[in-house]
Amino acid sequence: MMSTEPLSRGRIVTAAVDLIEREGADAVSMRRIAAELNVGVMSLYNHVPNKAALLDAVAEAVLSEIEFTDDPDADWTERVRMQARAFRQIAHHYPRCTMVVVSRQLQSPAGLLPVERALATLRDAGFDGQDAVRILRTFIAYIVGSLLREVGVTPTFAPVPRVGVQVENVDPALFPEVGRLAPILGSCDEEPDFEFGIDLLIQAIALLPRPEGRGGARS
Residues 118 and 95 in one domain: yes
| Domain annotation covers residue 191 | yes
Residue 165: the pLDDT is: 55
- pLDDT, one tens digit per residue, over 165-178 is 565 677 888 888 88
Where is pLDDT greater, at 210 or 217?
210
Q: What pLDDT does 219 receive?
A: 46
The verdict on 31 and 121 lying in the same domain is no
Q: What is the CATH number of the domain that holds 31?
A: 1.10.10.60
Confidence band, pLDDT 50/70/90 cuts, at residue 217: very low
Q: How confident is the model at residue 150 (pLDDT cuts 50, 70, 90)?
A: confident
Q: Do 117 and 20 fall within a single domain?
A: no
DSSP assignment of 129-185, as one string?
HHHHHHHHHHHHHHHHHHHHHHHTB-TTS-B----PPPGGGS-TTT-HHHHHHHHHH
- Looking at residue 68, its pLDDT comes to 76
Residues 38 and 69 in one domain: no
Please say if the pLDDT value at position 164 is more than 70. no
> How far from chain centre, in Å, is Cα 32?
25
Is position 149 within any domain?
yes
The reply to whether 117 and 80 lie within a common domain is yes
Task: Determine, yes or no, domain membership for 194.
Answer: yes
Q: Closest Cα partner for 57 from 13, 100, 117?
A: 13
Q: Cα separation of 215 and 155, whole Å?
A: 40
pLDDT value of position 53: 94
- State percent of the chain over pLDDT 90: 49
Query: Amino acid identity of 83?
Result: Q
Give a yes or no: residue 103 inside a domain.
yes
One domain, residues 159 and 201: yes
Confidence of residue 216 (pLDDT cuts 50, 70, 90): very low
Mean residue pLDDT of the chain comes to 84
Q: Whole-model pTM?
A: 0.78
| Same domain? 189 vs 159 | yes
Give the ranges where the chain is alpha helix by DSSP (H): 9-23, 30-37, 41-44, 51-64, 76-93, 95-101, 109-124, 129-151, 176-185, 190-206
What are 65-92's pLDDT values in tens digits? 888 777 888 999 999 999 999 988 888 8
The identity of residue 57, as a single letter, is A
> In sequence order, which residues have a C-beta less than 8 Å from that of residue 98 and are 6 or more positions away?
62, 90, 91, 144, 147
How much is the pLDDT for 201?
95
For the segment 97-106, the average pLDDT, to the nearest whole number, is: 85
In a domain, 214, yes or no: no
**Mean pLDDT, residues 121-135 taken together:** 94
Say whether both 33 and 95 belong to one domain: no
Asked if 15 and 122 sit in the same domain, the reply is no
Domain count, the chain: 2
Does the residue 134 lie in any domain? yes
Q: Which residues span the domain enclosing 157?
A: 64-206
Give the CATH number, domain containing residue 88. Answer: 1.10.357.10
If asked whether residues 86 and 186 sit together in one domain, one would say yes
| Domain presence at residue 213 | no
Q: What is the pLDDT of residue 158?
A: 42
1 in any annotated domain:
no
The more confident residue out of 68 and 30 is 30
Asked if residue 145 has pLDDT above 80, the reply is: yes
Residue 186: predicted pLDDT: 73
